[in-house]
């Protein structure tokens, strides 16, 4: 049992605030919540919406239809009315109409409190009444949330909630709404989870140039910089950002940057620098549709091959691709650990959908638990930075100790100084590349979801986790035999292991049919799996219009 | 004190101004009383950028034009390190121009020594951002037609906390300027070093510079911005050398409350290193 509530209006009208407060209110009741945002690249005007899906079981993706549309403008009403499901309700910021509950939200808010911004609260009261949820519950939450702002604020909010509910009157409670199910009351977005994991894992320096959809991580870190002891600096460009991060990593602190495709393109030389200098840096890459500026506020998974191949020359790296806020948290930490253990750059792939999605989260640990930097405590006087070892990992020291730490973007000998000794070149290049074996051995295994064996397998990576998982549920409900294999590490990959795993998940006779689900136009991950010998034939389920997949859409395309 | 290792395979041409700069830097480091273990030489790419390999210090030889952001990252992670950028006119004023602009604004306490020979050495003789008008090269066969960048004027306009110029042919003066820059505690110090390139620059020779450089007299007040700008604009028959400008702006790192508790490296804490 679940419902989808869509709040829609112009940029600047408070769509995000209203959607956000509904998410908090529903989670506060113990409902499962999943929200996504659809917005245009503008600060005022246009048409943006915020989908809040609520359910009595865990939710993993958005839904196509709307059960309750909250239209803040006539345009929103006209444009999105068609998405309303049978029996769906309309709440309009204006007059009553045919099948429309009209409340002049801003007017009511101004009458009651003198403040237009309280329209959010009036709407929340009306939504609760329309869904037949106890308004007293919303009042309780308001008291909790605004207590520190004083009694006047609490009272103002309460009045707004009550009036919103009153204006709905006996028109409420006609939709069957999910019952609270004891879901975790905490809510977090993909970007918040990345930021929190970075801060708690000991990132001490972060620098970036703002770029949608990665900016949320940057602002999160800036907001907690004092609490966790970090320097967060806005760079003049992405080139500066990545080079500052390389400098900080050399000096001995975990450091990261965040960007999207265009900014990452500028960082590519710096990425190769980290490869050559063997610096542990984390790059958060929030994807959006390209090429070039593309669709700045929409979603895509188009930079997979780019992330894996970026950088001139050859050097090891790991590319991680979380699919949920929880995985964002876990893999950010993991990425930092890998970067330090293997003295290599690590790229964390996200996208607009994952960055902005909000979902119930079970207590993400906020305590400071710095990772092991694998730094030498005391380097001997004859220390050299790039000692050749079996693992390829050389003991790392930071400058300021007894030893000189010499690093060079030119090819260098063991001591870090520039060399054109071509034997040293091969020795050092081999040493660096050996680290890829360690990264491969520690690769995060893909996650299987579905029956023990299945005739068909959906393969996905990164943010398509949720929609695929919902599709599996929908399809198996109708007696399909389908499972899903989700990759949260997309590089390096071991073809033979994946091939065996797919074989074991399939029917006893023959191999399962493989469908690869990706938000790009060319099936980048499918081609990567073929390249490493993990799969042969497969069907592609692609989407690249800038909007995220839904479980329904994938199920529909699998059935056809 | 560990002896500088001049026995390294030095890749500069005979007669290169960089030799004097290297020897003088070593003397200045001694005179300023710096602990070489805490000294980090940061460079990009170019002939000047090779300097860190020929002395004893921690070294971060990064990418072309990107020495400054790397140096700033190092300094902010561990502000107890003495971070000195050794760069050329192509590296700092060309490829890295944007970083210079914004770091003059930030005023992080790194020292920026620019070996300014007004020509590209490593790529064999093309014009640099500071080449004089009419300078003829294989890429600019009709001579340079865009006027040279004035890095010192830019630095003064941006209120850089220490702006000086010296000449590689006057090692006594150069040492004095380097020591003053190394002792500067108020943020970024920019030292532009006029450096002859006997291989590719046959216009701005030792002789050419010697006839023109003139030490700034005691009467100049480096805190007088207008007077400093006036000096920075002089070029041609007379080229002033010395400390042009000083400002008492606070350094970037002194404005970060988080660094009052110690360096970020010191604050890392936790189990294991």
Question: Model-level pTM?
Answer: 0.96
Which whole number is the average pLDDT over A474-500?
Answer: 93
Q: What is the pLDDT of residues A108-127, one digit of tens each?
A: 999 999 988 888 889 999 99
Rounded to the nearest 10 degrees, the angle between the axes of helix A465-477 and helix A551-559 is: 50
Regarding predicted confidence, which is higher, A453 or A387? Answer: A387
Mean pLDDT confidence for A193-221 = 98
pLDDT in tens, B99-136: 999 999 999 999 999 999 999 988 999 999 999 999 99
Query: What is the average pLDDT value for chain A, to the nearest integer?
Result: 95
pLDDT at B229 over 80: yes
Mean pLDDT of B79-90: 97
pLDDT of B167 higher than 50: yes
Q: Which residues pair with B215 in a beta bridge?
A: B241
pLDDT, residue B5, reads 64
Instruction: Look at residue B270 in the predicted model and tell me its pLDDT.
Output: 58
pLDDT tens figures, A389-436: 999 999 999 999 889 999 999 999 999 999 999 999 999 999 999 999
Q: Residue B8's closest chain A neighbor by CA?
A: A417
Contact state of A417 with B59 under an 8 Å Cβ cutoff: yes
Calpha distance A133→A461 (Å, rounded): 37
What pLDDT sits at residue A120? 85
Name the nearest CA neighbour of B233 among B125, B150, B113.
B150
Is B74–A248 a contact, with Cβ atoms under 8 angstroms apart?
Answer: yes
Cβ contact, residue pair B258, A243, below 8 Å: no
In a mutational test of the B interface, the residue from A239, A249, A251, A377 whose CB has the highest number of chain B CBs within 10 Å is A251
Number of C-beta neighbours around residue A65 at 10 A: 15
Question: Is residue A4 within 8 Å of A65, Cβ to Cβ?
Answer: yes
Residue in B70, B254, B259, B261 to test binding to A, most A beta-carbons within 10 Å: B70
Confidence of residue B272 (pLDDT cuts 50, 70, 90): very low
- pLDDT, one tens digit per residue, over A516-544 is 999 999 999 999 999 999 999 999 999 99
User: What pLDDT, on the 0 to 100 scale, is given for residue A97?
Assistant: 87
- Mean pLDDT in residue range A371-391: 94
| Domains annotated on chain A, with CATH | 2-171 (3.40.920.10), 187-360 (3.40.50.970), 375-442 (no CATH), 447-559 (3.40.50.920)
Evaluate if residue B273 carries a pLDDT over 50: no
* Contact between chains at B8 and A417 (C-beta distance less than 8 A): yes
Domains present along chain B, CATH in parentheses = 20-267 (3.40.50.970)
Per-residue DSSP letter, A125: H
Q: How far apart are CA A421 and CA B176, in angstroms?
A: 38
In this predicted structure, the answer to whether residue A247 has a pLDDT above a threshold of 50 is: yes
Contact at CB, B256 and A401, closer than 8 angstroms: no
Q: How far is B74 from chain A (nearest CA, A)?
A: 5
pLDDT tens for residues A297-311?
999 999 999 999 999
Per-residue confidence (pLDDT) for residue B1, from 0 to 100 = 37
In this prediction, residue A362 carries a pLDDT of 84
The answer to whether residue A480 scores a pLDDT higher than 80 is no
Residues of chain A found within 8 Å of residue B62, distances taken between Cβ atoms = 243, 246-247, 273, 277, 409
Helices (DSSP H) in A393-517: which residue ranges?
A: 422-441, 465-477, 495-505
Q: Contact A377/B42, CB-based, under 8 Å?
A: no
Which of these, B86, B93, B92, lies nearest to B12 by C-alpha position? B86
Choose between A320 and A44: higher pLDDT: A320
User: Which among A226, A240, A337 is the top mutation candidate for probing chain B, defined by the most B β-carbons within 10 Å of its own β-carbon?
Assistant: A240
State which of A98-112, A358-372, A385-399 shows the largest mean pLDDT.
A385-399
Helix axis angle, A135-146 relative to A151-168, nearest 10°? 160
State the pLDDT at residue B271.
Answer: 46
| CA B11 – CA B49 distance, rounded (Å) | 11
**In chain B, % of residues over pLDDT 90:** 93
Is there a contact between A392 and A220 (Cβ–Cβ < 8 Å)? no
CB contact under 8 A, A402 and B70: no
């Amino acid at each position: 049992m679940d419902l989808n509530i869509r709040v829609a209006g112009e940029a600047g009208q408070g769509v995000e605030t209203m959607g956000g407060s509904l998410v908090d209110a529903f989670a506060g009741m113990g409902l499962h919540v999943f929200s996504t945002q659809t917005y245009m690249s503008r600060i005022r005007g246009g048409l943006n919406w915020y989908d809040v899906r609520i359910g009595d079981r865990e939710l993993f993706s958005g839904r196509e239809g709307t059960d309750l549309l909250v239209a803040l403008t006539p345009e929103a009403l006209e444009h999105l009315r068609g998405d309303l499901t049978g029996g769906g309700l309309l709440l309009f910021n204006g007059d009553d109409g045919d099948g429309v509950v009209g409340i002049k939200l801003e007017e009511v808010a101004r009458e009651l409190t003198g403040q237009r911004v309280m329209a959010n609260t009036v709407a929340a009261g009306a939504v609760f009444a329309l869904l037949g949820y106890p308004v007293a519950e919303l009042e309780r939450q308001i008291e909790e949330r605004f207590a520190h702002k004083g009694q006047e604020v609490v009272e103002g909010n309460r009045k707004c909630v009550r009036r919103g509910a009153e204006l709905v009157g006996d028109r409420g409670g006609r939709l069957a709404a999910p019952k609270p199910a004891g879901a975790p009351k905490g809510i977090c977005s993909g970007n918040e989870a990345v930021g929190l994991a970075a801060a708690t894992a000991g990132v001490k320096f972060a620098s970036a140039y703002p770029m949608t959809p990665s900016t949320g991580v940057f602002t999160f870190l800036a907001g907690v910089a004092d609490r966790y002891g970090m320097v967060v600096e806005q760079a003049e460009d992405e080139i500066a950002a990545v080079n500052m991060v390389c400098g900080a990593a050399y000096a001995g602190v975990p450091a990261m940057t965040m960007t999207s495709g265009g900014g990452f393109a500028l960082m590519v030389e710096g990425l190769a620098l980290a490869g050559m200098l063997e610096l542990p840096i984390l790059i958060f890459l929030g994807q959006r549709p390209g090429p070039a500026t593309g669709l700045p506020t929409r979603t895509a998974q188009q930079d997979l091959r780019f992330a894996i191949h970026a950088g001139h020359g050859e050097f090891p790296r790991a590319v991680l691709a979380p699919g949920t806020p929880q995985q964002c948290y876990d893999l950010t930490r993991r990425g930092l650990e890998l970067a330090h253990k293997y003295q290599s750059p690590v790229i964390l792939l996200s996208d607009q959908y994952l960055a902005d999605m909000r979902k119930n989260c079970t207590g993400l640990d906020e305590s400071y638990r710095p990772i092991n930097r694998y730094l030498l405590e005391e380097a001997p006087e004859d220390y050299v930075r790039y000692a050749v070892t079996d693992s390829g990992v050389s003991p790392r020291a930071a400058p300021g100790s007894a030893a000189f730490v010499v690093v060079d973007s030119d090819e260098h000998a063991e001591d870090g100084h520039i060399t054109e000794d071509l034997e040293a070149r091969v020795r050092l290049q081999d040493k660096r590349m050996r680290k890829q074996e360690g990264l491969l051995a520690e690769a995060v295994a893909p996650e299987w979801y579905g029956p023990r064996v299945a005739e068909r397998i959906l393969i996905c990576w990164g943010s398509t986790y949720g929609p695929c998982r919902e599709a599996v549920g929908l399809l198996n409900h109708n007696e399909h035999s389908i499972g899903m294999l989700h990759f949260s590490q997309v590089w390096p990959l071991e073809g033979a292991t994946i091939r065996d795993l797919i074989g074991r998940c399939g029917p006893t006779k023959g191999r399962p049919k493989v469908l690869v689900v990706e938000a790009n136009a060319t099936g980048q991950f499918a081609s990567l799996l073929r390249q490493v010998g993990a799969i042969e034939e497969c069907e592609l389920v692609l989407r690249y219009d800038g909007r995220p997949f839904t479980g329904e859409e994938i199920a529909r395309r699998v059935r056809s | 004190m560990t002896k500088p290792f001049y026995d390294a395979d030095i890749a500069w041409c005979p007669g290169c101004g960089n030799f004097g700069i290297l020897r003088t830097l070593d003397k200045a480091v001694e005179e300023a009383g710096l602990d070489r273990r805490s000294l980090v030489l940061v460079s990009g790419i170019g002939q000047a950028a090779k300097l860190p390999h020929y002395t004893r210090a921690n070294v971060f030889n990064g990418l072309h034009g990107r020495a400054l952001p790397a140096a700033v990252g190092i300094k902010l992670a561990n502000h107890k390190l003495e971070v000195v950028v050794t760069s050329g006119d192509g590296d700092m004023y060309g490829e890295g121009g944007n970083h210079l602009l914004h770091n003059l604004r930030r005023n992080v306490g790194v020292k920026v020594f620019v070996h300014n020979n007004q020509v590209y050495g490593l790529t064999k003789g093309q014009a640099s951002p500071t080449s004089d008008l009419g300078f003829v090269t294989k890429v600019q066969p009709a001579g340079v037609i865009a006027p040279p960048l004035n890095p010192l004027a830019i630095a003064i306009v941006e209120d850089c906390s220490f702006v000086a110029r010296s000449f590689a042919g006057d090692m006594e003066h150069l040492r004095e300027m380097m020591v003053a820059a190394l002792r500067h505690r108020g943020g970024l110090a920019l030292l532009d070093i006029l450096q002859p390139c006997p291989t590719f620059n046959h216009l701005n020779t030792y002789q050419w510079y010697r006839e023109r450089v003139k030490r700034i007299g005691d009467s100049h007040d480096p805190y007088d911005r207008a007077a400093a700008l006036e000096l920075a604009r002089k070029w041609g028959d007379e080229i002033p050398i010395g400390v042009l400008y000083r400002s008492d702006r606070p350094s970037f790192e002194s404005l970060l409350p988080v660094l009052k508790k110690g360096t970020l490296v010191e604050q890392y804490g936790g189990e294991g290193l």
